Amino acid sequence: MAEIFPMKQTKVVEVESAASPFQPPDADSTVEITLAQALQFCVQKMGVDSVQAVVDRLRQGDSTACRHCRYSIAKQVGESLGALDENVKAVYVVDYDATPEDLCFGEATPTSLIHLIVWAGRETGALDSLVTALDLALAQRYGDLTGRRQLMHLLDVQVIDDADVQNRTGYGALLSSLYHPPIQVWKR
């Protein structure tokens, strides 16, 4: 697997804490783990015999491989955001790039964004920075993996708070949508 998905050297930043030292993962190491797990998820879901077969299908723009990979990435990004920011309550994935006709024929844009709604107690600069770091690292590594090095972003993240959900305003209204509900990928 080393030739398919080479690991980069990562630097761990230590943060002092009164209770115990904590070493938060950097974006690059989080993305390495996320993509490795996404490829394994695709191997299992698609019933192929190797990670290389999944990588080849992703490079060809195979809609099934792209869909499974994007779902796994969304789920793991949600888990990472929840683990690293205690204000995050839930994370949802929304698929609104494909038209109903595209979905009917199994077509999807392999480089379209992964749309996430992050329900947080409040939006903070730390959460915004975390999302930005993950997005940039994911875009670079996913672009390298699939041969689409021109990717600038892979994530489209909308942060909502309790008021948005309670008042059903903005993206908070989608959580109670009857016609196009998002899929919850992580919850505290």
Residue 99 inside a domain? The answer is yes
Please tell me the total count of domains within the chain.
1
Residue 59 inside a domain? The answer is yes
What single letter denotes the amino acid at residue 136?
Answer: L
Nearest alpha carbon to residue 65 among 145, 173, 140: 145
pLDDT in tens, 113-144: 899 999 999 889 999 999 999 999 999 999 99
Continuous H helices in the chain: 27-46, 51-60, 63-84, 100-104, 125-146, 162-167
pLDDT in tens, 43-81: 999 999 999 999 999 999 898 999 999 999 999 999 999
- Helix (H, G, I), strand (E, B), or coil: what is residue 100? helix
Backbone phi and psi for residue 132, each to the nearest 5 degrees, phi listed first: -60, -45
Residue 164 inside a domain? The answer is yes
Residue 4 inside a domain? The answer is no
pTM value surpassing 0.85: no
Q: Quote the CA–CA distance of 20 and 42 in Å, as a whole number.
A: 37
Please answer whether residues 145 and 103 qualify as being in contact, where contact means their C-beta atoms are separated by less than 8 angstroms: no
